[in-house]
Structure 1
Amino acid sequence: MNAMTRRTLVGSTAVAMALALAACGQGGGSTPGASATGNKTIGLLLPEKASSTRYESFDKPLIEKSIAGLCTKCTVDYANANGEEHTQREQFDALLAKGVKVILLDPVNAKSTASWVDAAARQGAKVIAYDRLAAGNVAAYVSFDNQRTGELQGHALLEAIGPKAQDAQVVMINGAESDPNAAMFKTGAHHSLDGKVKAIGYEQSGDWKPEVAAQKMNEAIHALGKENIQAVYSANDGMAASIVDTLKANGMKIPVGGQDASVDAIRRVLSGDQAFTIYKPYKPEADAAADIAVYLLNGLDITAVASSLTQSGDAQIPSMLLTPIVVTKQTVSDTVIRGGLYKAADICTPELATACQQAGVS
């Protein structure tokens, strides 16, 4: 199923929810499950602010708006852990102490959540893993197809290298080892790159931190030599920014790829400093998360909105997995502009006026 089809599905699901849950918080009689307790709060815990701007700029407001459209008396109790695992645990426990029965959780460290997610489940609280698959007894999972994301990154990097790809040596700066998504991005990228380039000459985790990515890039340059690096895979745009700066400081201009379609990355794509990014339309993901949260709040079957299954240990988690999109200089207008993520005015600074005009961004 392509991204547009999924967006249509999510949109139609929201309409169905609005009809099916007309009584939600509006005095229309009792409903089964969590709503019978009278607690109309949905918890929302997001992982960071500094290394990725998407959570505050897009995920939070979109999820809040979507939930409000489905359940007028529902409220969202939001917190951001700012990259601190212990802080997120405290935020999670605070939601449980308030009696919140549905929690959307994007974990800082997905591998460490099992004990607290399982404890929540024993208390009757439903945890929805958002964007990253948290460990433990989660009720549902909403994300993008992360291995496919990595495959698209690898393929786009091959396209950027061009006909000499088979002779190219690539540096890979992956995401945090604590993030299961990073492992899937890595697997997908290797699937596209292995056997198609001469070698992955250097590969390390950048830990989702720009400063770490810069350090690793400098190590790669020292180990391999400037003339022996033809391209860099960066798992996200935040790290790509520091990698581009490091390459410039060493007099190097080679293809660098990223992910997240941050506004600064789109500008780098237009200027030619970054070869591509990956656009994951946030609204369909936020809408799917809101749909599932309101379904669970009212004790309803979620298979209509979480129709696929994701293996997690011995369990299969009801899931909604969306399809990402590659963004290059030639496709900025048809992707992030047409998709409503940005307006041309958000991207086209005076310095980029000519590049925007050449790319048809107006």
Structure 2
Amino acid sequence: MKAIRAGALLAAVACVLALVGCANAVAPGDTSHPAVDPQHATIGLLLPDSTNTRYESADRPAFESRIHAKCPGCTVAYQNASADAARQQQQAESMLAQGVAVLVLDAVDGQAAASIVNEAAAKGVPVIAYDRIINSPDLSFFVSADNDQVGVLQAQSLVARLHELGVPKGGGILMVNGSPTDNNAVLYKKAALSVLDESGYTVLAKYDTPDWAGSEAQTWVAGQITQFGNRIAGVYAANDGLAEGAIAALQAAGMSPVPPTTGQDAEVAAVQRILAGTQYMTVYKPIRRQATIAADAALTLVNGGTPAGTGTTKVAGKTVPSVTLTPVAVTVKNVKKVVIDSGFHTVDQICTPAYASYCKEHGIS
């Protein structure tokens, strides 16, 4: 008995002398995540697709820049799912196996991605839902734009433009929605319809575009032109990629001027179309700020803290700390101030030779 007590005492003394090691020890059979060196952590960033150019041009570089600025010894492990939920699952599992300290996840499918969060939780790895909510109670943080407001701004802008053009009540609108697996697309559509249904204009047809693919939008709109022709007075497109596809179909059908078309994300090509008059509006979201907030939250989690949100979001019966950013409707009237003067895009990016005359016309130089 004395020998046992002596052994226990020696073990206790050893723990006192190496307190951090004992505190972080993993018991046999424990599948939780091992101890992480906060100064040399690997943070996983999983983005959903490359169809939307913002992910590679804005979200990823802003996130990586912030991580490296605040934690020079940290590493960002990055993967893009190319709009494939099964691929994203495999990418997440690979990152978890490699020992990432935190996952920042923009889900292809918010329902399916719950399994990723569950697996991460089982390994003690916190997950930040980025841009799109994930249906899991185990989320640690959520950051996104106000997605309801995005849909409202799009629809309000379209209706206002139809009024300016003198389109009578009953005029027709095509509705090109986002991917049915993206919860944000569901929110945009619902919010937009809350405006359009009260506008006096008629939604001729609706389409939920698989994987946010502009080519799919183009094919569908081409079919609707065959059916509805000049009854089409405007197009609700949920983002700039869908707007591009819709506009291509309208132009191919010889519709000139192109009916007012909405968008989202303030992509370079969309801003150029707005200046040229082929796309009516887009929605600017502070994407780089969103990525910075996500990076800061990830580093807080790496260091054992709890990210502070400016509010909360209820998901799967749990309240998750969150930050919701404010979107801005952008037309030719305010594109310089919102997109150029803010530094979101540069003059050189927008005013390429093909668009130089439009830039000059609208005072961008």
> Does the CA-based 8 Å contact 1:117-1:135 persist in structure 2?
no
Letter in 2 for 1:152: L
Aligned mates of 1:79, 1:167 — CA distance in 2: 46
> Does the CA-based 8 Å contact 1:177-1:205 persist in structure 2?
yes
Q: How does 1:31-180 map to 2 (within 5 A)?
A: 36-38=35-37, 40-49=41-50, 51-136=51-136, 137-162=138-163, 163-164=166-167, 166-180=169-183
Tell me which moved more, 346-355 or 204-213. Answer: 346-355
> Does the CA-based 8 Å contact 1:332-1:361 persist in structure 2?
no
TM-score (norm 2): 0.86
Aligned mates of 1:142, 1:310 — CA distance in 2: 10
Letter in 2 for 1:230: A
Displacement after TM superposition at 1:205 (Å) = 0.9
> Does the CA-based 8 Å contact 1:232-1:255 persist in structure 2?
yes
> Does the CA-based 8 Å contact 1:169-1:197 persist in structure 2?
no
The residue aligned with 1:270 is 275
Alignment pair present for 1:229 and 2:232:
yes
Displacement after TM superposition at 1:140 (Å) = 0.9
Query: In structure 2, which of residues 302, 305, 326 is the aligned counterpart of residue 300 of structure 1?
Result: 305
Task: Indicate the SS of the match to 2:169.
Answer: helix
**CA distance 1:116–1:357, shift in 2 (3 Å):** same
TM-score (norm 1): 0.87
Displacement after TM superposition at 1:161 (Å) = 1.4
Displacement after TM superposition at 1:72 (Å) = 2.4
> Does the CA-based 8 Å contact 1:332-1:359 persist in structure 2?
no
Aligned mates of 1:47, 1:69 — CA distance in 2: 25
Aligned mates of 2:123, 2:93 — CA distance in 1: 12
> Does the CA-based 8 Å contact 1:173-1:235 persist in structure 2?
yes
Letter in 2 for 1:187: K
Aligned mates of 1:192, 1:60 — CA distance in 2: 33
User: What per-residue deviation string (whole Å, max 9, x for no partner) do you get for residues 63-120 of structure 1?
Assistant: 0111122222211111111222222111100111112121001111122111221121
Aligned mates of 1:250, 1:37 — CA distance in 2: 58
**CA distance 1:30–1:74, shift in 2 (3 Å):** farther
Higher relative contact order (CA 8 A, sep 6+): 1
Query: In structure 2, which of residues 346, 349, 354 is the aligned counterpart of residue 346 of structure 1?
Result: 349
> Does the CA-based 8 Å contact 1:257-1:275 persist in structure 2?
yes
User: What per-residue deviation string (whole Å, max 9, x for no partner) do you get for residues 325-347 of structure 1?
Assistant: 11111211101101111111211
> Does the CA-based 8 Å contact 2:310-2:324 persist in structure 1?
no
**CA distance 1:102–1:165, shift in 2 (3 Å):** farther
Task: Indicate the SS of the match to 1:286.
Answer: helix
Equivalent pairs counted in the alignment come to 330
Tell me which moved more, 233-242 or 158-167. Answer: 158-167
Aligned mates of 2:100, 2:242 — CA distance in 1: 35
Aligned mates of 1:355, 1:331 — CA distance in 2: 14
> Does the CA-based 8 Å contact 2:167-2:233 persist in structure 1?
no
User: What per-residue deviation string (whole Å, max 9, x for no partner) do you get for residues 207-253 of structure 1?
Assistant: 21111101211222233x21211000001111111111100111212
Alignment pair present for 1:254 and 2:259:
yes
Unaligned runs of 5+ in 1: 1-28
Letter in 2 for 1:233: Y
Letter in 2 for 1:256: T
Tell me which moved more, 342-351 or 322-331. Answer: 342-351
Query: In structure 2, which of residues 322, 335, 338 is the aligned counterpart of residue 335 of structure 1?
Result: 338
Displacement after TM superposition at 1:135 (Å) = 2.3
Task: Indicate the SS of the match to 2:46.
Answer: strand
The residue aligned with 1:186 is 189
Displacement after TM superposition at 1:47 (Å) = 1.1
The residue aligned with 1:11 is none
Letter in 1 for 2:201: K
> Does the CA-based 8 Å contact 1:172-1:200 persist in structure 2?
yes
Aligned mates of 1:244, 1:143 — CA distance in 2: 28
**CA distance 1:262–1:35, shift in 2 (3 Å):** farther
Letter in 1 for 2:112: S
Task: Indicate the SS of the match to 1:111.
Answer: coil
Amino-acid identity (%): 37
User: What per-residue deviation string (whole Å, max 9, x for no partner) do you get for residues 13-69 of structure 1?
Assistant: xxxxxxxxxxxxxxxx979998953261111111111x1111111111110111122
Aligned mates of 2:233, 2:363 — CA distance in 1: 29
Unaligned runs of 5+ in 2: 1-18, 25-32
Task: Indicate the SS of the match to 2:111.
Answer: helix
Aligned mates of 1:151, 1:222 — CA distance in 2: 29
Displacement after TM superposition at 1:352 (Å) = 2.2
Displacement after TM superposition at 1:281 (Å) = 1.8
The residue aligned with 1:218 is 222
> Does the CA-based 8 Å contact 1:30-1:36 persist in structure 2?
no
Aligned mates of 2:65, 2:34 — CA distance in 1: 20
Letter in 2 for 1:262: E
Letter in 1 for 2:144: S
Task: Indicate the SS of the match to 1:319.
Answer: strand
> Does the CA-based 8 Å contact 1:175-1:206 persist in structure 2?
yes
**CA distance 1:150–1:30, shift in 2 (3 Å):** farther
